[in-house]
Amino acid sequence: MKKEIKKLASMAVILLLFIGCSNDDNSTGNTDQSLKITSLSPDNGGKGDVIKIIGNGFGTDETLVKVFFNDKEALVSNLTNTEIEVAIPPKAFTGPVKITVNGEELEGPEFAYNITSTFVTTVAGSGVPGDEDAQNPLQANFKAPYDITYGLVNQNKHFYLIDLANHKIKRIGTAGAVTTIGGSTMGYMNGQYNQAKFYEPRNIALVQENGTGVLYISDTKNHVIRKLTGGEVTTYAGNGTAGFADGNATTAQFNEPQGLTLDDKGNLYVCDGENHKIRKISPSGEVTTVAGSTKGFFDGVALSAQFNFPMGIVIDSEENLFVADGFNNRVRKITPNGVVSTFAGSDQGDQDGIGNQAKFYSPFAIAIDKWDHLYVSDIDNHKIKKITPAGHVTTLAGSTEGDSNGDGLLEAKFAFPRGLCVDELGDIYVADIVNNKIKKIVQE
């Protein structure tokens, strides 16, 4: 009997030890329920493609889970505690994936969005050369629309364009109405918007100051930079004589100024075309040379670098300048330290590719979106091209010279497209100069 009791006691001890070990195993196992994303599968795709977000702590209640690609919400189609299955929304674009679970937000890895389609439409201009404002934008007449910019002014979405051969500045309002906001006849005169005169203005930049829109205009043939705000046109920099001189805004000289861009500090950068230089105008009115020397092509530091008629300029989120170096058929990069390099392009041609494998034929205008993608008007190829932050160049829209809308690569045609801008949705607006129209490219 005693032996039986001892045997039972031993078995009880073994059983308790086993249970204890089992409990220890559970306590040291994967019981972490904290919210985390470990990977995306796949990590790239286009609109409608299904991907899995792999991680932990997602739960199983779909009503508590939201997924965003660059603030575009995706539809959750399947959910477990460790996987979220979603379809990529249109126009998601490249950027980090974000999720919220029961109010807790988490940013995950970057997802590479593939553009699978582009579509071109006309948003303003009848195509008949002339000078006529209109409530219906498609009934307005332009004569060589050269540049366009975009912005929100007092919460209203406006586009501003240079109507070159009419020597005027025009606005396309929220409802689409086209109105003249600056210029009268060819000449040089400051004053009220409808009395002021320009001489073949080329480029335009917009900034908001105290809730009011301020426009800067390169008045190219007058060799000055003009300012338009509150219905009043003034000269911002340049003495009106073609030449080259740094210094105070009133005595500085330019020679056919072209592209413009502004940084967050209020500095205005100018492509000084015939001087083959990049200039800067400080908020206090001091004009200096940022980069460039004589006409040519040379990468190097600041004033040792060479450009050949720089035409367009933008600034990215890291304060790098990108220049459409027109007759060098390249896009150049200027770092905040003044180092000039070739970002994309090589010899004259028409070729997609990475960096210097790509080819342009007179890249005369450049724009940038909020994700630091660049858009280039490759005018003699009659195309709009896109450059990723990694330097990958692809054709977005256009084929041969012409005038047609439709599928970006199969049907759409431009004729020497010039200035362009990008809105907050990633849609591109192009001044199609020879066709006397403003066209819109939607990329999805």
Q: What is the pLDDT of residue 32?
A: 64
Question: Is residue 77 domain-shared with residue 218, that is, in the same domain?
Answer: no
User: Which CATH number fits the domain that encloses residue 254?
Assistant: 2.120.10.30
Q: What's this model's pTM, rounded to 2 decimal places? A: 0.89
**Is residue 343 one of the residues assigned to a domain?**
yes
Measured CA to CA in angstroms, residue 182 lies from 46, 164, 167, 188, 238 at distances of: 43, 12, 9, 12, 19
- Give the number of domains in the chain: 2
Distance of alpha carbon 271 from alpha carbon 218, whole angstroms: 9
Q: What is the pLDDT of residue 5?
A: 43
**Is residue 267 one of the residues assigned to a domain?**
yes
Question: Is residue 66 domain-shared with residue 207, that is, in the same domain?
Answer: no
Measured CA to CA in angstroms, residue 1 lies from 5, 6, 11, 220 at distances of: 6, 9, 15, 113
Question: Is residue 344 domain-shared with residue 322, that is, in the same domain?
Answer: yes
Question: Is residue 49 domain-shared with residue 158, that is, in the same domain?
Answer: no
Contacts of 227 (CB under 8 A, 6+ apart): 214, 215, 216, 217, 233, 234, 235, 236
Question: Is residue 45 domain-shared with residue 74, that is, in the same domain?
Answer: yes
Q: Provide the residue range defining the domain that includes 102.
A: 36-113
Question: Is residue 173 domain-shared with residue 306, that is, in the same domain?
Answer: yes
User: Which CATH number fits the domain that encloses residue 55?
Assistant: 2.60.40.10
Q: Are 428 and 384 in contact (CB under 8 A)?
A: yes
Distance of alpha carbon 333 from alpha carbon 315, whole angstroms: 10
Q: What is the 3-state secondary structure (H, E, C) of 369-398?
A: CCCCCEEEEEHHHCEEEEECCCCEEEEEEC
At which of 78, 113, 148 does a domain end?
A: 113
**Is residue 190 one of the residues assigned to a domain?**
yes
**Is residue 435 one of the residues assigned to a domain?**
yes
Which of the 8 DSSP states describes residue 115?
Answer: P
**Is residue 3 one of the residues assigned to a domain?**
no
Question: Is residue 86 domain-shared with residue 189, that is, in the same domain?
Answer: no
Question: Is residue 439 domain-shared with residue 295, that is, in the same domain?
Answer: yes
22: part of which helix (H) or strand (E)? helix 2-27
Residues of the chain under the 70 pLDDT cut: 1-32
Question: Is residue 399 domain-shared with residue 329, that is, in the same domain?
Answer: yes
pLDDT in tens, 23-74: 443 333 445 679 999 999 999 999 999 999 999 999 999 999 999 998 899 9
At which of 82, 113, 144 does a domain end?
A: 113
**Is residue 376 one of the residues assigned to a domain?**
yes
Question: Is residue 70 domain-shared with residue 104, that is, in the same domain?
Answer: yes
At which of 53, 88, 113 does a domain end?
A: 113
Question: Is residue 78 domain-shared with residue 152, that is, in the same domain?
Answer: no
Contacts of 102 (CB under 8 A, 6+ apart): 59, 64
Question: Is residue 69 domain-shared with residue 124, that is, in the same domain?
Answer: no
**Is residue 6 one of the residues assigned to a domain?**
no
**Is residue 307 one of the residues assigned to a domain?**
yes
Q: Are 74 and 86 in contact (CB under 8 A)?
A: yes
